Structure 1
Amino acid sequence: MSISAASLAGFCRDCLTPASGARCRACGSPRIASHPELGSLAIAHVDCDAFYASIEKRDDPDLADLPVIIGGRKRGVVSTACYIARIHGVRSAMPMFKALELCPEAVVIRPNMEKYVAVGQQIRTLMQELTPLVEPISIDEAFLDLSGTERLHGAVPALTIARFARRVEQEIGITISVGLSFNKFLAKLASDLDKPRGFSVIGRAEAQTFLADKPVSMIWGVGKALEAKLAEQGIKTIGQLQRMEESDLARRYGVMGLRLARLARADDRRTVEPRHEAKSIGAETTFDHDRADLASLRPILRRLAEKVSARLKRAELAASNVTLKLKSADFKLRTRSRQLADPTRLADRIFRTAEQMLAHETDGTTYRLIGVQVSDFSDPQLADPDDLVDPAAAKRAKAEEAIDKVRGKFGKAAVEHGLTFRKPE
């Protein structure tokens, strides 16, 4: 089906046929996308709905009608809450004990990042079939610039991205929300307007009017500190910024003032940048009970190093910097970093480097969280040359390679390192 920009007034998001009014005449669906500028907008923001929770519900249909929270145990935080749990007030980053007070009947599931990353990669692959201009923002959201794709897909960008949303739902089994506009700022705002399964459009004609009554916090880059500073000067809505001179805002707030002036007027000059590489890869865990001794921390650190190593290998990267992260019982954060002589991909080397730093920090302090992170990425072909100082390192590297092959064939639990082996209870 080919629909031109000039002829497109609206379409059904379920059967994708041209439609107008309250319901689709072809299938009866009320999900009609219509807008005067629908045929001319090409910047989309795609955001998966309650991503982690949606995947868990997809994989276990018994969870479909239950409130589901993804996150750590009582001392952890909420990673994602399904929309049923959100009705009770549960939100991302909320302490788990608070979430369970609000929704005691919730099913709590520990995150399975490997599964979520795999689904995210599936969706990313489908995005890249639409356009090479895909800018990932996180595992579950991205900007797409669909300009010039009409001939390729036989449809205007609005219809192409609606087809994509339906395909994700049918083939991958989760839902997404789409924001469509003429720039990134407005596309991102639009994707939040009608979740879940949303499809919202902000055109040029209504952009400034749409923004006028919105709080300044909706502007990209306005955090709590700047919001408070603006409020002190009586500026609370974007409409107030629209009425101020750009030079006045620049004088008051410098470069940020120029950004405020432009975005308040729906002027966002950022382009969709397809190269958006991760700067670090890490893993961390929050304990049920505080820990202080090296003996109990070492197995946990080893498991984290294995997770980080697996992600490095999947991403076909090597890293030259290892960072240890610790949070004490009084919530004070400690980070210690070490630069390696050569880049690595090996769990063994990441663990041994982090363990040396950990040994210096086990000084009687009790910790509630430990994490390990790697950065300073390079070509994996440069990783892990023979170590003349530690001849046994080569044997450990070969053993790790063999373990990776077994796990790749039979699963993670097929082989376990002696340090992390859990005795059956």
Structure 2
Amino acid sequence: MPALCLDCLTTFDAGVRCPACGRPRVIAHPELFDLSIAHMDCDAFYASVEKRDDPSLRDKPVIIGGGRRGVVSTACYIARIKGVRSAMPMFKALELCPDAVVVKGRMSVYVEVSREIRRMMDDLTPVVEPLSLDEAFMDLTGTERLHGAPPAVMLARLVRRMQEELGLSGSIGLSHNKFLAKVASDLDKPRGFSVIGAAETMAFLRDKPVRMIWGVGQQTQNALEKTGIRTFSDLLRWEKADLVARFGGMGERLWHLARGEDRRRVS
């Protein structure tokens, strides 16, 4: 089975440890070197920039936001473990994590760092679709000949470069379409690299909750639950025409996504 060391970027047949550096950060998958649609998501981006620029914050729970009457913009993983979430009232966040350090966001700094990351992504492929300052889709189809390495290797090189040059980490999702690439990038954060291949798509999705679908917020989730739809398996029991009649354009989208189908191009 194709395998890749995420530390030294050695490619090899599957094993528990890298045969070159001996480290265990290895990703192995039958389709690892065949997939080319990726989603890169920086790990707790704003908070990570603040910790990078102020080393005294490194091991502390950090919340980005305003005063006690404001809301949480984002938080580092230490604070998230305590239950702090984006858009949470700050007073509630501090009740959950009283030892947190609250830092006022520096948007101009985040924008500049985001531009540096974008330049790194542009070095891999001209087909980059940003979703926000800290995440983007990439289509690396046809780039293996240019780089002399498959997309998986170049993506691992990207996040290593981000760490070495910017002091920031990111997580990669690699799959055969945008929907699944975004799902994959969230499976093993932080510093994750996850793959969802075409052959395993249906089995992977079957028992997952529909809230995993990007764009399905609480309101849509409640509407789906009223019809007994909680998982992808529930969606598969519906005919396309019935979903469209009940949910309009969203119904057709759900029908395709339940089957792991997403024809949107990275643009």
CA distance in 2: counterparts of 1:226 and 1:113, whole angstroms: 31
Once residues 16 and 152 of structure 1 are traced to their aligned partners in structure 2, the CA distance between those partners, rounded to angstroms, is 17
- 2:35 pairs, out of 41, 48, 53, with 41
One of 172, 182, 189 as aligned partner of 1:188: 182
Shift of 1:252: 2.1
One of 5, 13, 19 as aligned partner of 1:12:
5
Q: Partner residue of 1:120?
A: 114
Query: How far off is 1:230 after superposition?
Result: 1.4
Separation in structure 2 between the aligned mates of residue 68 and residue 220 of structure 1, nearest angstrom: 26
Task: Work out the CA distance in 1 between the residues paired with 2:176 and 2:231.
Answer: 22
Q: Secondary structure at the match of 2:85?
A: coil
Q: Equivalent of 1:135, from 129, 133, 136? A: 129
Does the residue aligned with 2:131 lie in a helix, a strand or coil? Answer: strand
Residue 225 (structure 1) aligned with residue 219 (structure 2): yes
**Alpha-carbon distance between aligned partners in 1 of 2:192 and 2:22, rounded to the nearest angstrom:** 18
2:137 equivalent to 1:150 = no
Question: For residue 44 of structure 2, what is the aligned residue in structure 1?
Answer: 50
Give the whole-Å Cα distance in 1 for the aligned partners of 2:214 and 2:44.
22
User: Is 1:242 aligned to residue 227 of structure 2?
Assistant: no
Q: Secondary structure at the match of 1:120?
A: helix
2:130 counterpart SS class: strand
Alignment partners' CA distance in 2, 1:237 and 1:231: 9
- How far apart are residue 233 of structure 1 and its match? 1.4
Q: Is the 8 A contact 1:69 1:106 kept in 2?
A: yes
| Separation of aligned partners in 2, 1:76 and 1:149 | 45
Q: Which runs of 4+ in 1 moved over 3 A?
A: none
8 Å Cα contact 1:219/1:264 also seen in 2: no
CA distance in 2, matches of 1:85, 1:226: 28
**More moved, 16-25 vs 112-121:** 16-25
Q: What is the CA distance between 1:137 and its match in structure 2?
A: 0.3
Q: Which residues of 2 match residues 84-123 of structure 1 at below 5 A?
A: 84-123=78-117
Structure 2: runs of 5+ lacking an equivalent: none
CA displacement at 1:244 relative to structure 2? 2.0
- 1:223 Cα offset (Å): 2.2
- Any conservation in 2 of the 1:14–1:166 contact (CA below 8 Å)? yes
Deviation readout 1:52-111 (Å, 9 max, x if unpaired)? 110111111121111111111111111111111111111111111111111111111100
Give the aligned residue type for 2:234.
Q
For 2:183 and 2:195, the matched residues in 1 are separated by 10
Q: Distance in 2 between matches of 1:92 and 1:39?
A: 35
Distance 1:89 1:256 in 2: 31
Q: Which has the larger radius of gyration?
A: 1
Q: 1:30 Cα deviation (Å)?
A: 1.0
Q: What amino acid is the match of 2:83?
A: G
Unaligned runs of 5+ in 1: 1-7, 274-425
Three-state SS of the structure 2 residue aligned to 1:66 is: coil
When the two chains are superposed, the root-mean-square deviation of aligned CA atoms in Å is 1.1
Report the TM-score when normalising by structure 1.
0.61
Cα distance per residue 1:169-222 (max 9 Å; x no partner)? 111100000000000000000000000000000010111111111111112332
Amino acid in the other structure paired with 1:130: L
Secondary structure at 1:148 match in 2? coil
- What is the distance in 1 between the residues matched to 2:145 and 2:254? 37
Shift of 1:23: 1.2
Distance in structure 2 (CA, Å) of the matches to 1:46 and 1:54: 15
Tell me the distance in 1 between the aligned counterparts of 2:152 and 2:254: 28
User: Taking structure 2 as the reference length, what is the TM-score of the superposition?
Assistant: 0.97
1:18-417 equivalences under 5 Å are: 18-19=11-12, 20-273=14-267
Give 3-state SS (helix, strand or coil) of 2:11's partner. Answer: coil
| One-letter amino acid matched to 1:16 | L
Q: Deviations over 1:92-134 (max 9, x none)?
A: 1111111111111111110011111110000001111111100
Higher RCO (C-alpha under 8 Å, 6+ residues apart) = 2
